[in-house]
Structure 1
Amino acid sequence: MTILSFIIYTCIIALVLYVLVNLLAHNPNRLPPGPTPWPIVGNLPHLKGTIPHHTLAALATKYGPLVHLRLGFVDVVVASSPSVAAQFLKVHDSKFANRPPTAGAKHIAYNYQDMVFAPYGPQWIMFRKICNDHLFSYKALDDFRHVRQEEVAILARGLAGAGPSKVELGQPLNMCNANTLARMMLHKRVFGDESGGDDPKANELREMVSEVMFLAGHFTIGDYIPLLDWLDLQGIVKKMKKLHARFDKFLDIILDEHKVIASSGRYTDMLSTLISLKDDTSVDHQRKPSYIEIKALLLNLFIAGTDTTSNTVEWAIAELIRQPDLLKRAQEEMDSVVGQDRLVTEMDLRQLTFLQAVVKEAYRLHPSTPLSVPRMASESCEVDGYYIPRGSTLLVNIWAIGRHPGVWTDPHEFRPTRFLPGGEKPGTVVKANDFEVLPFGAGRRICAGMSLALRMVPLLIGTLVQAFDWELADGIKPNKLSMDEAFGLSVQRAEPLMVHPRPRLPPHVYKNNG
Structure 2
Amino acid sequence: MLSFSAYKLIILLMESVHSWLVSSKFSMETSFWQCLLVFTFLYYLAKYFLGVNRNLPPSPALSLPIIGHLYLLKKPLHRTLAKLSNQYGPTVFLRFGSRPVLLVSSPSAAEECFTEKDIIFANRPRLLAGKYLGYNYTSLVWASYGHHWRNLRRIASLEILSSNRLHMFYNIRVDEIRLLCQRLFRGSKGGGPGDDQCQIVDMKSMFFELTLDVMMRMIAGKRYYGDNISELEEARKFKEIVTETFRLSGATNIGDFLPVLKWVGLNKTETKLVTLQGKRDKFMQDLIDEHRRIRIDSASKDQSRTMIDVLLSLQETEPEYYTDDIIRGMMQVMLSAGSDTSAGTMEWALSNLLNNPKTLLHAQLEIDINIGQSRLIEESDLSKLPYLHGIIKETLRMYPADPVLAPHESSEECTIGGYKVPRGTMLLVNMWAIQNDPKLWEEPSKFKPERFKEMMEGERDNKYKFLPFGAGRRGCPGEGLAMKMVGLALGSVIQCFEWKRVGEEMVDMSEGTGLTMPKAKPLLAMCRPRPVMLNLLSQL
Q: Identify the match of residue 275 of structure 1 among 303, 312, 315.
A: 312
Provide closer, same or farther for how the CA distance between residues 340 and 196 of structure 1 changes in structure 2, counting only shifts above 3 A.
farther
Quote the Cα distance in structure 1 between the aligned partners of 2:336 and 2:473: 20
Equivalent residue, structure 2, for 1:138: 163
Equivalent residue, structure 2, for 1:266: 301
Equivalent residue, structure 2, for 1:392: 425
CA apart distance, 1:185: 2.9
Provide closer, same or farther for how the CA distance between residues 33 and 390 of structure 1 changes in structure 2, counting only shifts above 3 A.
same
Contact 2:407-2:426 at 8 Å conserved across structures: yes
Equivalent residue, structure 2, for 1:411: 444
Equivalent residue, structure 1, for 2:22: none
Equivalent residue, structure 2, for 1:149: 174
Matched ranges for 1:91-170 at <5 A: 91-163=116-188, 164=192, 166-170=200-204
Provide closer, same or farther for how the CA distance between residues 56 and 108 of structure 1 changes in structure 2, counting only shifts above 3 A.
same
Quote the Cα distance in structure 2 between the aligned partners of 1:60 and 1:241: 36
Q: Deviations over 1:108-144 (max 9, x none)?
A: 2222121101112232222222222333212222232
Equivalent residue, structure 2, for 1:55: 80
Contact 1:158-1:195 at 8 Å conserved across structures: no
Equivalent residue, structure 2, for 1:12: 38
Contact 1:154-1:196 at 8 Å conserved across structures: no
Q: Deviations over 1:195-251 (max 9, x none)?
A: 799x89768756644654453344433222323334463632233223323322332
Q: Identify the match of residue 107 of structure 2 among 52, 61, 82.
A: 82
Provide closer, same or farther for how the CA distance between residues 441 and 204 of structure 1 changes in structure 2, counting only shifts above 3 A.
farther
Quote the Cα distance in structure 1 between the aligned partners of 2:384 and 2:313: 42
Equivalent residue, structure 2, for 1:317: 350
Provide closer, same or farther for how the CA distance between residues 195 and 351 of structure 1 changes in structure 2, counting only shifts above 3 A.
farther
Q: Identify the match of residue 176 of structure 1 among 192, 210, 215.
A: 210
Quote the Cα distance in structure 2 between the aligned partners of 1:108 and 1:96: 22
Amino acid at match of 2:472: G
Equivalent residue, structure 2, for 1:340: 373
Equivalent residue, structure 1, for 2:67: 41
Provide closer, same or farther for how the CA distance between residues 231 and 243 of structure 1 changes in structure 2, counting only shifts above 3 A.
farther
Equivalent residue, structure 1, for 2:360: 327
Provide closer, same or farther for how the CA distance between residues 6 and 228 of structure 1 changes in structure 2, counting only shifts above 3 A.
farther
Q: Deviations over 1:407-457 (max 9, x none)?
A: 001111111121124xx675578xx98111111100001111011112111
User: Does 1:476 pair with 2:497?
Assistant: no
Provide closer, same or farther for how the CA distance between residues 4 and 485 of structure 1 changes in structure 2, counting only shifts above 3 A.
farther
Provide closer, same or farther for how the CA distance between residues 508 and 205 of structure 1 changes in structure 2, counting only shifts above 3 A.
farther
Provide closer, same or farther for how the CA distance between residues 427 and 347 of structure 1 changes in structure 2, counting only shifts above 3 A.
farther
Equivalent residue, structure 2, for 1:490: 516
Quote the Cα distance in structure 2 between the aligned partners of 1:494 and 1:200: 31
* 266-275 or 91-100, larger mean C-alpha shift: 266-275
Matched ranges for 1:346-495 at <5 A: 346-421=379-454, 426=457, 434-472=463-501, 475-479=502-506, 481-495=507-521
Quote the Cα distance in structure 1 between the aligned partners of 2:489 and 2:289: 31
User: Does 1:509 pair with 2:536?
Assistant: yes
Amino acid at match of 2:414: C
User: Does 1:297 pair with 2:333?
Assistant: no
Q: Identify the match of residue 71 of structure 1 among 82, 85, 96.
A: 96
- Normalised TM-score (structure 2): 0.85
Quote the Cα distance in structure 1 between the aligned partners of 2:401 and 2:512: 12
Give the match's secondary structure for 1:70. Answer: strand
Amino acid at match of 2:213: N
Provide closer, same or farther for how the CA distance between residues 426 and 93 of structure 1 changes in structure 2, counting only shifts above 3 A.
same
Q: Bigger radius of gyration, 1 or 2? A: 2
Quote the Cα distance in structure 1 between the aligned partners of 2:124 and 2:175: 37
Quote the Cα distance in structure 1 between the aligned partners of 2:30 and 2:365: 67
Gaps in structure 1 of 5+ consecutive residues: none
Equivalent residue, structure 2, for 1:235: 268
Quote the Cα distance in structure 1 between the aligned partners of 2:435 and 2:457: 15
Quote the Cα distance in structure 2 between the aligned partners of 1:152 and 1:396: 34
Provide closer, same or farther for how the CA distance between residues 6 and 275 of structure 1 changes in structure 2, counting only shifts above 3 A.
farther
Amino acid at match of 1:101: R
Quote the Cα distance in structure 2 between the aligned partners of 1:497 and 1:219: 25
Quote the Cα distance in structure 1 between the aligned partners of 2:281 and 2:228: 28
Quote the Cα distance in structure 2 between the aligned partners of 1:82 and 1:266: 48
Amino acid at match of 2:391: V
Contact 1:262-1:275 at 8 Å conserved across structures: no
Amino acid at match of 2:312: I
Provide closer, same or farther for how the CA distance between residues 415 and 456 of structure 1 changes in structure 2, counting only shifts above 3 A.
same
Quote the Cα distance in structure 1 between the aligned partners of 2:271 and 2:360: 44
Provide closer, same or farther for how the CA distance between residues 34 and 196 of structure 1 changes in structure 2, counting only shifts above 3 A.
farther
Q: How many residues are matched?
A: 499
Quote the Cα distance in structure 1 between the aligned partners of 2:29 and 2:167: 60
Give the match's secondary structure for 2:365. Answer: helix
CA apart distance, 1:330: 0.8
Provide closer, same or farther for how the CA distance between residues 450 and 68 of structure 1 changes in structure 2, counting only shifts above 3 A.
same
Quote the Cα distance in structure 2 between the aligned partners of 1:168 and 1:196: 20
Provide closer, same or farther for how the CA distance between residues 332 and 43 of structure 1 changes in structure 2, counting only shifts above 3 A.
same
- Normalised TM-score (structure 1): 0.89
Give the match's secondary structure for 2:135. Answer: coil
Provide closer, same or farther for how the CA distance between residues 373 and 203 of structure 1 changes in structure 2, counting only shifts above 3 A.
farther
Quote the Cα distance in structure 1 between the aligned partners of 2:381 and 2:170: 13
Contact 1:222-1:229 at 8 Å conserved across structures: yes
Contact 1:278-1:289 at 8 Å conserved across structures: yes
Provide closer, same or farther for how the CA distance between residues 85 and 211 of structure 1 changes in structure 2, counting only shifts above 3 A.
farther
Provide closer, same or farther for how the CA distance between residues 189 and 5 of structure 1 changes in structure 2, counting only shifts above 3 A.
farther
Contact 2:176-2:214 at 8 Å conserved across structures: yes
Quote the Cα distance in structure 1 between the aligned partners of 2:365 and 2:327: 45
Q: Deviations over 1:466-495 (max 9, x none)?
A: 1111234xx43252x211111111111111
Q: Identify the match of residue 256 of structure 1 among 289, 296, 309.
A: 289
Q: What is the root-mean-square deviation of aligned Cα atoms in Å?
A: 2.8
Quote the Cα distance in structure 2 between the aligned partners of 1:284 and 1:261: 18
